[in-house]
């Protein structure tokens, strides 16, 4: 019987801001700030972008006073709550195809690019020292490889002293876009995973312990010698956890770095007319230096709420103009300027028209 570790839910954080950021001057800015300060925007969803949204918000509040309450409850919860119209916007790491957006009456646009990494707690093995082939990663999460000194792991790590330590897999317990992306990747690099488990926001894990949110998985791996799990890169940085090298689409090993994330993101083929939907997100992009688990996090908006959508758009427009350094510091990749302009055009011609 699988264990379930109930970690504390990520609390609501007060975010804040106004369209155009510091570029507004004089009475126009004052009028907008006065109007916006009376508004409270509510959002919920993915924990993947949670750290960057919180930090964007702190600076946005200093500029404008608009408050945004964002709860990190997982992508599944975000999709559900925005569909039920209990929040003004939803955050998701699972992109919704156009037909599903039509059914739910939602708009969708990317807000930030991040990456998923496999973190581990293995005394004596430092950050980036461990190499996990596609097969080894698959067999660990399938429960077929139970000890760290298994020949399958040792094969790609001949110089490491791997202990005879039992592996403890930690995965998400709730509906999660991070899980969707991670299991999508596993399904495409491991035929057995595709056949027996598949991918989705929730899957029937063959082994492991469930924890809530990226924070929950991070905390449990950190506390468990022999632990391994998948989290958004910002959580790895904040908690000083080591992360494994993985194989690119071409098969060579690559470390998770800002450069490898940007390499993958550079291959994105956005289509605003399809609400920026990419069937496999940014996973397994071509290129010998492209991180295979790079993913965009998207924002979902109700189609009928133009005035509320304007407030949400103002926040993200401010973040696009003022938040890149914050994002990079946390380990995210800001959207390229060309993509930001695509999103602004989408807002103007579709969302706010």
Residue with tokens 């700030």: 33
In this prediction, residue 68 carries a pLDDT of 84
State the chain's mean pLDDT as an integer: 90
Is position 214 within any domain? yes
Q: Are the C-beta atoms of 163 and 124 separated by less than 8 Å?
A: yes
Same-domain status, 254 and 340: no
Rounded Cα distance, 293 and 247, in Å:
10
Query: Does residue 327 sit in the same domain as residue 206?
Result: no
* Contacts of the segment 103-106: beta carbons below 8 A, 24+ positions apart: 104/79, 105/302, 105/303, 105/304, 106/82, 106/300, 106/301, 106/302, 106/303
Do 219 and 236 fall into the same domain? yes
Do 124 and 251 share a domain, yes or no?
A: yes
- Please report whether residue 248 resides in a domain: yes
1 Cα distance to chain centroid: 29
Domain co-membership, 247 together with 275: no
Instruction: Kindly state whether residue 290 falls inside one of the protein's structural domains.
Output: no
CB atoms within 10 A of CB 200: 16
Residues 96, 72 share a domain? yes
Domain span including residue 176: 117-263
pLDDT at 34: 45
pLDDT, tens digit (0-9, with 9 covering 90-100), for 226-277? 999 999 999 999 999 999 999 999 999 999 999 999 999 999 999 999 999 9
Q: pLDDT tens-digit profile of 273-309?
A: 999 999 999 999 999 999 999 999 999 999 999 999 9
Checking if the pLDDT of 21 tops 60, the result is no
Segment 66-99, tens digit of pLDDT: 988 898 999 999 999 999 999 999 999 999 999 9
Pick from 211, 206, 233, 213: nearest CA to 291:
233
The 8-class DSSP code of residue 273 comes to G
pLDDT exceeds cutoff 60 at 37 = no
Q: What's residue 11's pLDDT?
A: 41
Asked whether the beta carbons of 112 and 92 are under 8 A apart, the reply is: no
User: Please, what sign has the CA dihedral across residues 334, 340, 343, 344?
Assistant: positive
For residues 15 and 54, is the Cβ–Cβ distance under 8 A?
yes
Bridge-partner residues for 5, per DSSP? 211
Nearest to 346 by CA among 301, 307, 308, 289: 301
Residue 288, domain member (yes or no)? no
Q: Find tokens 């839910």 and name the residue.
A: 9
CA 57 – CA 51 distance, rounded (Å): 10
Cβ-Cβ contacts under 8 Å for 236 (sequence gap 6 or more): 117, 119, 218, 243, 256, 331
Quick one: pLDDT at residue 38?
59
- CA–CA dist 109, 113 (Å, integer): 12
Judge contact between 305 and 39, C-beta under 8 A. no
Residue 26 has pLDDT above 60, yes or no: no
Residues 186 and 226 in one domain: yes
How far apart are the C-alpha atoms of 259 and 215, rounded to whole Å?
25
Contact 180, 200 (CB under 8 A): yes
Does the global pTM surpass 0.95? no
Q: What is the mean pLDDT of residues 313-327?
A: 97
Give tens-digit pLDDT for 44-64: 999 999 999 989 988 888 888
Task: Flag whether 86 is in a domain.
Answer: yes
H or E segment and range at residue 236: helix 233-238
Mean local confidence (pLDDT), 302-320: 97
Q: Please report which confidence band the pLDDT of residue 39 belongs to, taking 50, 70 and 90 as the band edges.
A: confident
The DSSP code sequence of 7-36 is: PPPPPPEEE---TTGGG--HHHHHHHHHHH
- Report pLDDT for 271: 94
Report whether 298 contacts 108 (CB < 8 A).
yes
Q: What is the CATH number of the domain that holds 185?
A: 3.40.190.10
User: Are 139 and 107 in a shared domain?
Assistant: no
- Averaged pLDDT for residues 319-334: 96
Q: Do residues 43 and 54 both lie within one domain?
A: yes
CA nearest to 230, candidates 334, 117, 321: 117
Tell me how far apart the alpha carbons of residues 64 and 68 are, in angstroms, rounded to a whole number: 12
Within this chain, do residues 179 and 251 fall inside the same structural domain, yes or no? yes
The mean pLDDT of 187-201, rounded to a whole number, is: 97
Tokens representing residue 40 in the block: 């409270």
Structural domain count of the chain: 2
Q: Are residues 146 and 227 in the same domain?
A: yes
Compute the Cα dihedral for 70, 71, 77, 81 and give only its sign: negative
């Amino acid at each position: 019987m699988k264990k379930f570790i109930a970690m504390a839910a990520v609390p609501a954080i007060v975010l804040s801001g106004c369209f155009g950021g510091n570029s507004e001057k004089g009475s126009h800015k004052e009028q907008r700030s006065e109007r916006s300060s009376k508004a409270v925007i509510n959002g919920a969803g993915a924990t993947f972008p949670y750290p960057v949204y919180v930090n964007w918000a702190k600076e946005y509040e200093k500029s404008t006073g608009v408050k945004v309450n964002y709860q990190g409850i997982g992508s599944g919860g975000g999709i559900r709550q925005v569909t039920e119209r209990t929040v003004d916007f939803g955050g998701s790491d699972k992109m919704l195809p156009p037909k599903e957006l039509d059914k739910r009456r939602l708009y969708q646009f990317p807000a930030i690019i991040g990456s998923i990494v496999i973190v581990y707690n293995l005394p004596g093995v430092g950050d980036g020292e461990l190499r996990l082939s596609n097969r080894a990663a698959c067999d660990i999460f399938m429960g077929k490889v139970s000890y760290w000194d298994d020949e399958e792991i040792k094969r790609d790590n001949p110089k490491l002293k791997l202990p005879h330590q039992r592996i403890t897999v930690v995965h998400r317990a709730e509906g999660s876009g991070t899980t969707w992306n991670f299991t999508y990747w596993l399904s495409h690099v491991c035929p057995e995973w595709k056949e027996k488990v598949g991918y989705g926001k929730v899957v029937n894990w063959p082994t492991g312990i469930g924890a809530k949110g990226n924070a929950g998985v991070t905390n449990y791996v950190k506390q468990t010698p022999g632990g391994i799990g998948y989290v958004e890169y910002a959580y790895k940085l904040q908690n000083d956890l080591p992360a494994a090298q993985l194989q690119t689409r071409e098969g060579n090993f690559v470390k998770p770095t800002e450069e490898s994330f940007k390499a993958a993101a550079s291959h994105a083929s956005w289509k605003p007319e399809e609400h920026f939907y990419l069937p496999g997100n940014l996973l397994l992009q071509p290129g010998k230096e492209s991180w295979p688990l790079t993913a965009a996090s998207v924002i979902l908006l109700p189609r009928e709420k133009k005035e509320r959508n304007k407030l949400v758009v103002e926040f993200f427009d401010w973040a696009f103009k003022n938040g890149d350094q914050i994002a990079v510091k946390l380990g995210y990749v800001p959207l390229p300027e060309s993509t930001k302009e695509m999103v602004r055009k989408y807002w103007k011609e579709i969302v706010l028209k």
